[in-house]
Amino acid sequence: MKEIDNYNRIMADLKKCPTSQVNKLASEATNIYSLLSKAEQQEAVQTFLAWAEKSKSQQPLKYAWAKFWDAWTDFLFERYEPALGKVIDAKKLFEDMNEPGGSACCLTIMAGTYWTLGNINLTVKLGMEAQRMLVPLGMYEHFHTAVTFVLGFVSFESGNDADALRYFESALEQAEDLTDIFWSCHALHGLGKLYLRQGNNEEAFRKFDRAYREAERNGNALVICNSLSELGNYHFQIGNYEESERFHKQALEMRLANNFIGGAVTSCMRLGEILIKDAKHEEALDVITKGLALAEQIKVKPKICQAHFLLSQIHESKKEEAVALSHYRQFHEIREEVDKEENAKRLKNVEAVFEAEQAQKDNVIIRQQKAEIVRKNAQLQETIDALTMAHISRRARAFTFGIALVLFVFEDTILHFALDLLHSENYFASMAVKIGIIFSLKPISVAIEHYLMKEVLRKKKLKLVPSMDTSENSLAVK
């Protein structure tokens, strides 16, 4: 069964299922979602969100997951700023319903976003919090593996090889248990890069080669292309340019065949660098020119800039100074534009991070205020209940006192009647009747309290019923 068919089946079940089954099905769906094509993801999220919007008051948990998928899709499409705002909103929905699984998945997306935006401290903080929440749940395996890999790569980039190794191996184990080809190959690539940096070329090659073979067996074109590129990069780094060229050519062909334009541009640039190293200038010229055309097609300025620089090197080596100078000028002009745009983007990212953190703090304050209101309401209700009981007790004592006065006034009559019934004028019998009258006052007081309490509760119910009827009528009108 294709991934999209399996995903659609799960989502159909999710729409019909009771609340108790929502998280289980959402977990299954998240394990498949990243394997769908971009077009499939876009259509799937819009369809589910439109459905969830109509029933969000009756099914708030499903609506929260719909909002989460919308945020995740923006993240996968590299729309990081809107993704960050949306995922914070989704996280608040999950927190309001006390759903740790959804909250942890949101934290994972936030950690990935902050990693992309260059905020390592927040990446580690949120990533570790997400991992702590996900471990005991035993669900959302895709996100557990994802956050483990991100923490591994952060450790790798920070030069912390011991932690990087631990995280990459853990991510690989989790991905293999899940049979998630995407993360198992990423984890193998991470391990390969780690061993290559440590000079263990043999073990590095084993990891890159294993990733490629597993990707081929699975048949996922994107993962195969990435694995071919990583093998090409490995051979380039150890100086085996012929093998590096072969792997990058295969990656380029496959990316073009599958319309992975961004990846194809990267393959062209890398292949051009290899061919320049091998002094194959004509081949390099062809492939970089092709890469430049593709980069201009998708308007990726950093790659356009790189292409002009490589072309200037080729024409300079061919003694074509005028053409080389033209490309070099374009390289500098575009690089200045890229630097300006990068600086503007960094500023915008800082603003986005600040706003996201502020929203997080605001949500925490709101939750604390809600908790305080609940606590104060509970205290107020306890006070009201205590005052009500005190009032009832006073009324009961007043009634009991009245009954006691009546009994005192008519004591002789009651005593005479009781002794007639007993057919006795005995002093002790008289005392027993008096003691009985005295001790009957406490049960009488308790009975009066019980009756008065029932009356108070009955009146409260009578007040609630009209208000409920009014709200139902208003809903019917709507």
Q: How far is CA 237 from the centre of its chain?
A: 37
What would the pLDDT profile of 217-275 be if each residue is shown by its tens digit?
988 888 999 999 999 999 999 999 999 999 999 999 999 998 888 889 999 999 999 99
Contacts of residue 360, Cβ cutoff 8 Å, sequence gap at least 6 = 88
How would you write the chain as a 3-class SS string? CCHHHHHHHHHHHHHHCCHHHHHHHHHHHHHHHCCCCHHHHHHHHHHHHHHHHHCCCCCHHHHHHHHHHHHHHHHHCCCHHHHHHHHHHHHHHHHHCCCHHHHHHHHHHHHHHHHHCCCHHHHHHHHHHHHHHHCCCCCCHHHHHHHHHHHHHHHHHCCCHHHHHHHHHHHHHHHHHHCCHHHHHHHHHHHHHHHHHCCCHHHHHHHHHHHHHHHHHHCCHHHHHHHHHHHHHHHHHCCCHHHHHHHHHHHHHHHHHCCCHHHHHHHHHHHHHHHHHCCCHHHHHHHHHHHHHHHHHHCCHHHHHHHHHHHHHHHHHCCCHHHHHHHHHHHHHHHHHHHHHHHHHHHHHHHHHHHHHHHHHHHHHHHHHHHHHHHHHHHHHHHHHHHHHHHHHHHHHHHHHHHHHHHHHCHHHHHHHHHHHHCCCCHHHHHHHHHHHHHHHHHHHHHHHHHHHHHHHHHHHHHHHHHHHHHHHHHHHC
Q: What is the pLDDT of residue 421?
A: 63
What is the pLDDT averaged over residues 360-384? 72
Task: Put residue 119 in one of left, alpha, beta given phi > 0 → left and psi -120 to 50 → alpha.
Answer: beta
What would the pLDDT profile of 295-336 be if each residue is shown by its tens digit?
898 888 888 999 999 999 999 988 888 999 998 899 889 888
Other CB atoms within a 10 A radius of the CB of residue 2 amount to 10
Q: What is the pLDDT of residue 293?
A: 93
What would the pLDDT profile of 418-461 be if each residue is shown by its tens digit?
666 655 555 555 666 567 666 676 787 778 777 777 777 777 66
Q: What is the pLDDT of residue 79?
A: 84
Instruction: Identify the band that residue 350 occupies on the pLDDT scale cut at 50, 70 and 90.
Output: low
Contacts of residue 1, Cβ cutoff 8 Å, sequence gap at least 6 = none
What is the pLDDT averaged over residues 5-13? 93
Alpha-carbon distance of 154 to 120, in angstroms, equals 7
Q: What is the pLDDT of residue 46?
A: 93
The yes-or-no verdict on residue 155 having pLDDT over 90 is yes
Model-level pTM?
A: 0.67
Q: What is the pLDDT of residue 220?
A: 85
Here the tokens at position 245 are 């060229």
What is the pLDDT averaged over residues 283-304? 90
Instruction: Quote the percentage of the chain above a pLDDT of 70.
Output: 83
Other CB atoms within a 10 A radius of the CB of residue 331 amount to 20
